[in-house]
């Protein structure tokens, strides 16, 4: 069942689907977005996240289902009349216009007076850190500055919902991280309801109130970043949203039954039988005197933490441990791996 926000929804997608001939791009997509929420559509290329965003924007019509904004059916509403702000991956700035002219474009279409337009453009550029850049053309601006202009242009019209189609993907890693922080601060300060399309797991985790994980046109899971990461509802979510270890295990005994993986064991969930797969995040595994026997194949220093690649009889394992100044196992060393039962998820069937 799709979790709903506690407050009355601002935007609702009710069993929305989109097909292009025989190809179904989006199937049975339902979501309620509360005012002020930051939602991320996350998934691999071709999963339907951009198609869903384009249906919200009005660039594509749903094959079936309904999209409502503040209770109003948007099916027959033209994109320009929906009151939505959009930032594209390419920024789509007008090269012959200055930053101020680009930002003012939407206000001109709304027939806002010149005096109000000038003040709102000035405020929007200042909000994104571009005060003093009003007369600069896009060709004389960096990628990060162009991204800020595009964001200011989308926000200056005071949209009911801000739609972001991978707006940071063209930036280098350092600038992208900086812009993520700025984007989140701006969104929090304005309280603008925002939907982001991204394939970057870290971006979705750091920005979102809730994440909609998609695969092959369908919703796999909706939840907060922490819940989605720590309690994935499927093997796909666990693998896509960060690294995870899958151990082949079996259920032994009855009343109470136990899951056994090598030298590690824990109480089995009620009703689980036969071969199972135990999934554990790398940072939830520790080295212990008791547990699953393993051998360190490689260890990699990554600044604030160590990454260990291990071999076990139940499958390969990646272990991430903090750099706490203590001695760490060396390559080739025999170790035992252990984790808390609450830090694992269990699925029926053998690990792939």
pLDDT of 6 higher than 60: no
Residue ranges with strand state E in the chain: 11-20, 23-33, 38-42, 64-69, 72-73, 84-87, 161-165, 193-198, 210-215, 218-223, 245-252, 258-261, 264-267, 275-280, 286-301, 305-312, 317-322, 334-338, 344-348
Task: Please give the order of strands across the beta sheet that includes 23-33.
Answer: 23-33, 11-20, 64-69, 72-73
pLDDT of 290 higher than 60: yes
Average pLDDT, the chain: 89
Q: Which of 96-100, 134-138, 251-255 is predicted least confidently?
A: 251-255
- The whole-angstrom separation of Cα 351 and Cα 18 is 34
- The whole-angstrom separation of Cα 157 and Cα 211 is 26
Helices (H), 167-291: 173-190, 201-207, 225-230, 235-240
Neighbours of 315 (CB within 10 A): 19
Q: In the numeric block, which tokens belong to residue 158? A: 């005071």
* pLDDT given for residue 352 in this prediction: 56
**Model confidence at 305, in pLDDT bands (50, 70, 90)?**
very high
pLDDT of 168 higher than 50: yes
* pLDDT given for residue 65 in this prediction: 96
Cis upstream peptide for 184 (omega within 30°): no
- The whole-angstrom separation of Cα 157 and Cα 155 is 5
pLDDT of 299 higher than 70: yes
CB 101 within 8 A of CB 153: no
Residue 77 CB partners (closer than 8 Å, separation 6+)? 58
**CA Rg value for the chain:** 24
Q: Which of 67-81, 247-261, 313-327 is predicted least confidently?
A: 247-261
- The whole-angstrom separation of Cα 130 and Cα 124 is 9
**Model confidence at 162, in pLDDT bands (50, 70, 90)?**
very high
**Model confidence at 175, in pLDDT bands (50, 70, 90)?**
confident
**Model confidence at 2, in pLDDT bands (50, 70, 90)?**
very low
pLDDT of 3 higher than 50: no
**Highest mean pLDDT of the ranges 249-253, 255-259, 299-303, 346-350:** 299-303
pLDDT of 325 higher than 50: yes
* pLDDT given for residue 106 in this prediction: 86
**Model confidence at 265, in pLDDT bands (50, 70, 90)?**
confident
Please report the domains of the chain, with CATH numbers, ordered by start residue: 11-239 (3.40.50.300), 243-348 (no CATH)
State percent of the chain over pLDDT 70: 97
* pLDDT given for residue 7 in this prediction: 63
Q: In the numeric block, which tokens belong to residue 244? A: 């995870």
pTM for this predicted structure: 0.82
């Amino acid at each position: 069942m799709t979790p709903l926000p506690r407050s009355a929804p601002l935007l609702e997608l009710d069993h929305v689907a989109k097909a292009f001939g025989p190809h179904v791009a989006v199937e049975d997509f339902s979501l309620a977005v509360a005012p002020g929420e930051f939602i991320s559509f996350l998934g691999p290329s071709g999963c339907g996240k951009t198609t869903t965003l384009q249906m919200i924007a009005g660039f594509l019509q749903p094959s079936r289902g309904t999209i409502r904004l503040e209770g109003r059916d948007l099916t027959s509403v033209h994109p320009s009349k929906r009151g939505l702000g959009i930032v594209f991956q390419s920024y789509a700035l007008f090269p012959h216009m200055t930053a101020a002219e680009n930002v003012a474009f939407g206000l001109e279409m709304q027939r806002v007076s010149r005096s109000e337009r000038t003040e709102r453009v000035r405020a929007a550029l200042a909000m994104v850190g571009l005060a003093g850049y009003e007369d600069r053309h896009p060709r004389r601006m960096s990628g990060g500055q162009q991204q800020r202009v595009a964001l200011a242009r989308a926000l200056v019209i005071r949209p009911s919902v801000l739609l972001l189609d991978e707006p940071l993907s063209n930036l280098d890693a350092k600038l992208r991280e900086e812009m993520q922080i700025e984007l989140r601060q701006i969104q929090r300060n304005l309280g603008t309801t925002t939907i982001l399309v991204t394939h970057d797991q870290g971006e979705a985790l750091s920005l979102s109130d809730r994440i909609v994980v998609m695969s092959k046109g369908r919703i796999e899971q909706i939840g907060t970043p922490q819940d989605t990461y720590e309690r994935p509802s499927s093997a796909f979510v666990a693998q896509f949203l960060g690294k995870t270890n899958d151990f082949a295990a079996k259920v032994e005994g009855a009343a109470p039954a136990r899951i056994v993986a090598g030298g590690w064991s824990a109480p089995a969930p009620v009703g689980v039988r036969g071969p199972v797969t135990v999934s554990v995040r790398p940072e939830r595994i520790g080295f212990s005197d008791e547990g699953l026997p393993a051998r360190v194949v490689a260890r990699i220093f990554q600044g604030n933490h160590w990454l260990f690649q291990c071999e076990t009889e139940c499958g390969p394992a990646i272990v991430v441990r903090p750099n706490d100044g203590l001695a760490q196992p060396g390559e080739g060393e025999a170790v035992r791996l252990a984790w808390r039962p609450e830090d694992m998820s269990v699925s029926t069937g053998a690990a792939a």
